[in-house]
Structure 1
């Protein structure tokens, strides 16, 4: 019985104070996190808030369109009417989409062409990477820089005073082709403190041209996996 009494926590003033201190600290942390989240938006300018809202609306619209297309394909497959042809069409559409995402097939569509004239070689690979990230955030579906097709595994580096993209040397003027909504991507390039302003700060001259049709012809060569192997189908 003595050991059990010793093991029980005693309600001392020190324990009560420690408990109150822990509660107060937790409340302070939660309040600080909430204030930080709110101040992150409060400190933005009106044009930046409008751009964020526009990006959200654009993304919502794209997701709604994708949802409707997937639901339509599902309904056609479940209906049983012409299920074979519908399944074949769905598979081909999926293959075409994967070909664009992996860069193994050409792509065409509306978009923009960003040209960066940099005679003094002031622009770095990091600046081109920033441009790529802005385009992706604005919904670019296919991108080509110079003669290099940009995919998920594309890397940028400064080597011997030149820019390399996935081992390929690119020289100014840098040409960036991107397929997507032209107005959205052009606005993303021209936001205050964005890519075009930063490029001008580097001493280079950027231009952005919107077009109804952009042809991306550079292709990415897939490398065979070194370690991964497909799982064989189970025997019946």
Structure 2
């Protein structure tokens, strides 16, 4: 009995620790909104790729994704990718890397911006969508920006021209620290997009990062329908065969 009980105890402790970790992570940031992404929408993925390359790829890489694979999955030609989405001079078959030297990134941001290939698999699409929308101006931060979903993030709001500048509206205080709590964010200076348009832009970037985290997901979902149809047809044939075998058995 000793070994089974020890194993059960370890599993229970592990489960409890994981639950506490996820609870702490959820409590660390602000509310998360539903992204509503659709990986079957190639137009959304193409827009997301364009936005990512123009606004994010100068700092963040996608080292597990190649330009050629992206072109194949998103229905783009080599010429379109190399002319509009490749700003580093990399070859078509190479990985999507940033041109920013790591030593300069450390000087400018205090840390090297992370690779975003697997962010959607770690954080989830809803988190990315909410994070992109949650930047607000904060004069006390080194870069002048903060984020309600990921407080004290080192990243500036690179999408501010489209979204506009948000300022926090405070309501109540933290019982433990006495610090004011942010009730909501309010657009103080409008951007080039209205809220619905910016939501779609953030959704497109989120969809592209979800695709980048698991490129095979697009094909897997398409193939999955045919697999289910085959299984249904095979089940029907098996039922007919069973009926034929057992028709004379009483």
TM-score by length of 1: 0.30
Q: Which has the larger radius of gyration?
A: 1
* Structure holding more strand per residue: 1
